[in-house]
Amino acid sequence: MSSTAEAAIVASGLRREFYPRHRFFRAGEPIVAVDSIDLMVGKGMVFGMLGPNGAGKTTTIKMISTLLVPTAGRATVAGYDVSRAEQEVRKRIGVLLGGDRGLYGKIPAVDNLRFFAALYGVPADLTEERVQRLLDMTGLTGRQQERVEGFSRGMKQRLHLAKALIHDPEIVILDEPTIGLDPDAAVQLRAVVRSLVPEKTVLLTTHYLAEADELCDRIAIIDQGRIIAEDTPAGIKRLVGSGSVLDILVRGHPRETTVDAIRLSSHSDSVSLVPLDRDGVSRIEIAGDCAWISERVVPILIADGYPVLEVRRREVSLEEAFLTLTNGAHRVSAGAST
Ligand SMILES: Nc1ncnc2c1ncn2[C@@H]1O[C@H](COP(=O)(O)OP(=O)(O)OP(=O)(O)O)[C@@H](O)[C@H]1O
Ligand SMILES: [Mg+2]
């Protein structure tokens, strides 16, 4: 992990409470959206925050982007405190929050970018080249003269990204950058995000587990306002087990006694039976990667009358790792790896 001097973003004890509106006139319990978050994003990396709805991802990003004031704790961006040096922070960050706000629907895409370039003080002689490069980078070149109100959600999202990059910020903060994009467009956008590093630093949020796995150098899993794990994608997978799963495909739906026998002989913490609808086939998933697991389990299945169709070893998906962590079964303390 990088030292503070090499960090682009540092947050310590960051907290944000909201008072629900209907309780405005009486003292009620606040909603704790973000509860004492510590993170350090090293320069030149893509850092992902992954978590379920309402986990506190957007609230964290807004505090780091100076759009929301922290209730407690502090954060610095490029060494500047988000509460005390807002202007210095804003100059250095490009933020994508998505949605319909923040773009001008009545004017063409290209003029939106020219407008924001002027707003951010991009020198006039650099503007045109940069606008064209960003349109090209986000795949909007052919559509640049169209009014933004006619754009699809995915096209607006790409324009939001171009806008976030218009002043050539050293730190790019993206809230769910690929939301609303079709699979091809998402692949392209992820390539654009990846191309930003190591020159820039990227902090992003996502619901897409495969996206975090593919895109991020480090991932923080956030749940109920707290970081419950922070590591490399591979490290996150290691946290929840051996890293491998044995999938055994059998004909029929093994009865409970057979599954219990498999549990006993495999010594695995996790054995699950997934009945697949097609042709009365089931999949047995066993966490663990030892060859002897299949050597012990296959004879049990055959003896109990369930022909084995296939045995396959695979890596634990980030989705499985994520579910295990957010279900609380394998919670680790915040900042365990920092
Ligand atoms: N302005 C607000 N007023 C009251 N509560 C809020 C406000 N903004 C967020 N919250 C609450 O704070 C919690 C965290 O919300 P946040 O938007 O940060 O989550 P998120 O991780 O971005 O979720 P999602 O994946 O759905 O975007 C939620 O319980 C949410 O209802
Ligand atoms: Mg959000």
Within a domain: 283? yes
Indicate whether 178 and 257 sit together in one domain.
no
Q: Tell me which of 238, 270, 287 is where a domain ends.
A: 238
Task: Report the C-alpha gap between 313 and 290 in whole angstroms.
Answer: 10
Residue 78's region, left for phi above 0, alpha for psi from -120 to 50, else beta, is left
Question: The domain that contains 114 carries what CATH number?
Answer: 3.40.50.300
Per-residue confidence (pLDDT) for residue 240, from 0 to 100: 65
- How far is it, in rounded angstroms, from Cα 116 to Cα 164? 9
Residues 223 and 127 in one domain: yes
Residues 146 and 204 in one domain: yes
Residue 293's domain comprises: 242-315
251 part of a folded domain: yes
- Ligand 1 pocket residues where CB is under 6 Å: 18, 20, 31, 33, 51, 53-59
Side-chain-facing half-sphere of 285: CA atoms under 13 Å = 14
- The C-alpha atoms of residue 225 and residue 3 are separated, in whole angstroms, by 25
The stretches in the chain having pLDDT less than 70 are 1-5, 21-27, 99, 240-242, 278, 289-290, 327-338
User: What CATH code is carried by the domain that includes residue 294?
Assistant: 3.30.70.260
Distance between Cα 31 and ligand 2 center (Å): 15
Q: Is the bond preceding 177 in cis, omega lying within 30 degrees of 0?
A: no
- Distance separating alpha carbons of residues 65 and 63, to the nearest angstrom: 5
Asked if the structure places residue 70 within a domain, the reply is yes
pLDDT confidence of residue 6: 81
> What residues contact residue 143 under an 8 Å CB cut-off, 6+ apart?
109, 151, 155
> How high is the pLDDT of residue 2?
45
Q: Is residue 329 situated within a structural domain?
A: no
pLDDT at 182: 87
* Cβ 72 vs Cβ 32: under 8 Å: no
pLDDT of residue 4: 56
Q: Examine the fold and report which residue of 217, 238, 259 is the final residue of a domain before the chain moves on.
A: 238
Nearest-atom index, ligand 1, CA of 225: 14
Give me the pLDDT at residue 181, please: 86
The verdict on 285 and 175 lying in the same domain is: no
The pLDDT assigned to 207 comes to 85
Domain match, 306 and 199 both: no
Percentage of the residues of the chain whose pLDDT score is greater than 70: 91
Residue 331 included in any domain: no
What is the tens place of the pLDDT at every residue in 30-62?
Answer: 899 999 999 999 999 999 999 888 999 999 999
Last residue of one domain, picked from the residues 218, 238, 258:
238
Q: In the chain, how many domains are there?
A: 2
Whether 65 maps to a domain, the answer reads yes
Is residue 192 located within the same domain as residue 307?
no
The Cβ of residue 288 has, within 10 Å, a number of other Cβ atoms equal to 20
pTM of the model: 0.80
Residue 214 in tokens: 């593919």
Residue 231 CA, ligand 2 centroid: distance in Å: 21
Q: Does 324 map to a domain?
A: no
Phi, psi of 132 (to 5 degrees): -65, -40
Which pLDDT score is estimated for 321? 75
Report yes or no on 327 lying in a domain. no
State the ligand closest to the CA atom of 19.
Answer: 1
Q: Give dist(CA 39, CA 35) in Å, integer.
A: 12
